[in-house]
Amino acid sequence: MIVIRDAGSVNTAIYEGLFLPIVNNTCDACEEVLNMSSIGREFMEKTKYQYLEESDQDRGLPQPPLELSYPEDAWAFDLPRIEQIRTESLDLTEAIVGRKTRRKYRDEALTIEELAYLLWCTQGVKTVTQRPVTLRTVPSAGARHAFETFLLINNVEGLEPGIYKYIALEHKLIAVNLEPGLSEQVAQIAGNQVFINDSAVTFIWTADIYRMKWRYGERGYRYIHLDAGHVCQNLYLAAQTVQSGVCAIAAFDDDALNDFLGLDGDEQFAVYLAAVGKV
């Protein structure tokens, strides 16, 4: 409810603790705030299954690539294959019971094998079907797997600090940005959560939304956020086998992070982060 208050020379409208100016008996900000206050409910309503429109898949349009391409001249690093990696054996029930958020990390590097293991557990490709779709270590609506994985690397053996990207189909890393000071920038973008600077690596999951919308239209935005939960939970559980802890991060400046990663914010955008470090 909006309450009109006489403040002498300037009337104000009070809405949920916000004092909004009224000029010429109108309150443009009031209308904007009211529209924003219902956007979540409107999203849930208009993406209900009964409103599912004909998708591009239904129209017979070709599906988008299973993964975004990368520059041919990008520095690339082949990761150890999962068959070559040995990790601590951990009972699943024990891992679930032991799952907790960790924001304090030891000053100890992850090995490249440990990083490769975490990447495989969160987005690893087990097979590519004839359709084609990728079957991975995490579930995804319609096997669309619309995520790309960026990494802020601070302390991983054999890798210079910077921003990297995981190429899941080839199980390799490419370097994106190796300028100094990137960790501080990400921490600031994420509301000055300074433990990001202490992490060995921070995962940044971004969406290539058309990969999901091709099949599900606007409802695909729902599925992106569901899929993010699957991915991050795998990271929480898998990190324990390499003596590491995780803190999932959803508080960040969307536009600033998209700009930082070179994403347009519409067809590709950041969805979720998670810091990882030795504990």
Query: Global pTM?
Result: 0.87
pLDDT at position 7, please?
A: 47
What is the domain partition of the chain in residue ranges? 3-37, 75-278
> Is residue 29's pLDDT more than 80?
no
pLDDT at position 3, please?
A: 47
Residue 152 forms beta bridges with which residues? 163, 202
Q: Can you tell me the mean pLDDT for 181-191?
A: 98
What does the alpha-carbon distance between residue 273 and residue 38 come to, in Å, rounded to a whole number?
Answer: 26
Please write the tens of the pLDDT for every residue from 36-79: 678 999 999 999 999 999 999 999 999 999 999 999 999 999 99
What does the alpha-carbon distance between residue 218 and residue 61 come to, in Å, rounded to a whole number?
Answer: 16
pLDDT at position 38, please?
A: 87
Fold for domain 75-278? NADH Oxidase (3.40.109)
Residue, of 172 and 21, whose pLDDT is higher: 172
